Amino acid sequence: MKTINELREESIELLQKMIATPSISRDESRVADVIQQFMLEKGLLVNRQNNNLWIHSSNCMDDRPTILLNSHIDTVKPAAGYTRDPYTPAIEGDCLFGLGSNDAGAPMVSLLAAFRYLIQKEQPYHLIYACTAEEEVSGKNGVESILPQLGHVDLAVVGEPTSMQPAVAEKGLMVLDCTSYGKSGHAARNEGVNAIYEAIPNIEWFRTYKFDRISQFLGPVKMSVTQVNAGTQHNVVPDVCRFVVDVRVNELYTNEELLELIKDRTSCEVKERSTRLNSSFISAEHPIVKRCIELGLKPFGSPTMSDQALMPFTSIKIGPGESSRSHTANEFVNISEIEHGIKTYIQLLDGLQL
């Protein structure tokens, strides 16, 4: 039987190999090869579709519920401020440096270690472990693409750096392309309809409007105008003004519902890029949340997105590492955080009754 110490050492070794293998979003094939080889060497039966890998704990034909353990293998591009090689996995004291070490290498290898530990004995659930691609870009060839192959899932544990505290709610996202129209004319004469002026009341509405439903963990819906573009030259009254709105949605609204409310309350043209990145929430009465509280963990609401947004089933986000280190120069994770992550995942899941 594998011990936690053995699993920790193998996890650190795997994470070092992952750091040394560039895996920018949509270019994860080499790191997927590394992980697949590791799994095969450990005697695990691996499924692969594109750059997504998954393992089943046992035959899932019985009537036990299913828990999915999921984290991602892709990284962002290295930040400009790196002073060390982002692809050199250097250990200094308790710190393991390298791009993707914290987000989300540590949660990924810790979940895999927990999976390997938990399947050493019978559990009251069927367990699936999946490490997937394109999370950083919310790509369609990531976890979303393999959900049909995974079958019914009752609960997902999503590994992201949360200091091993449980995120019980996560904001969703919509990006809106908005357009206000006017009529062109010469700026020197009193003619035309300035599309910028037509846009201003709508931009002000996005800045000031407050939706009624306020989440306990996520607060209100947040809308931010982040880009504006209008005009062709200084002496022409612009007939079109385009602006982009970033909408962070709490769990009390669906993206589709919120979109209709926005369209009803504005006079500009509103086109959504997507409504697929939804908010998520798990009840305080759910068995895994109760166990989190029993272990002294503190539920919170997460403003940052993860692959939870693409999961149409109950999920919770928790993992080793600090969210504040993600996407930063000289990214690192503590070795002790990985060990703590493995142990806590096991404590949360071992014998859990759904």
Would you say residue 138 has pLDDT above 90?
yes
pLDDT for residue 1: 85
| pLDDT score, position 59 | 61
With cut-offs at 50, 70 and 90, classify the pLDDT of residue 60. low
Could you report the per-residue pLDDT of 88-112, keeping only the tens digit for each? 999 999 999 999 999 999 999 999 9
Please give the average per-residue pLDDT across 145-160, as a whole number: 97
Rg (the chain; Cα; Å):
23
Q: What is the pLDDT of residues 338-350, one digit of tens each?
A: 999 999 999 999 9
Enter the pTM of the model.
Answer: 0.93
Give the percent of the chain with pLDDT over 90. 97
Over 70: is that where the pLDDT of 169 sits? yes
Instruction: Convert the pLDDT of each residue in 295-310 to its tens digit.
Output: 999 999 999 999 999 9
Q: What is the mean pLDDT of residues 218-235?
A: 97
Q: What is the mean pLDDT of residues 51-61?
A: 85
Q: What is the pLDDT of residues 139-149, one digit of tens each?
A: 999 999 999 99
Give per-residue pLDDT as tens, 18-27: 999 999 999 9
Residue 63's pLDDT band, with cuts at 50, 70 and 90, is confident
Model pLDDT, residue 11: 98
164 pLDDT higher than 70: yes
User: What's the whole-number mean pLDDT along residues 282-290?
Assistant: 98
- Which pLDDT value is given to residue 290? 98
Alpha carbon distance 307, 319 (integer Å):
14
CA angle 244, 249, 250 (to 5 degrees): 165
Q: Are 317 and 302 in contact (CB under 8 A)?
A: yes
Residue 212 to residue 201: CA distance in whole angstroms: 21
pLDDT in tens, 252-269: 999 999 999 999 999 999
If pLDDT is split at 50, 70 and 90, which confidence band does 61 have? low
pLDDT, one tens digit per residue, over 179-193 is 999 999 999 998 999
Question: How high is the pLDDT of residue 257?
Answer: 97
pLDDT mean across residues, the chain: 96
pLDDT (mean) for 197-209: 98
Q: Report the DSSP beta bridge partners of residue 301.
A: 169
The answer for residues whose C-beta is within 8 angstroms of residue 170's C-beta and 6 or more apart is 218, 279, 280, 281, 301, 302, 304, 305, 306, 308, 309, 317
193 by Cβ neighbours in 10 Å (0-12 / 13-18 / 19+) ranks as middle
Band (pLDDT 50/70/90 cuts) for residue 58 is confident
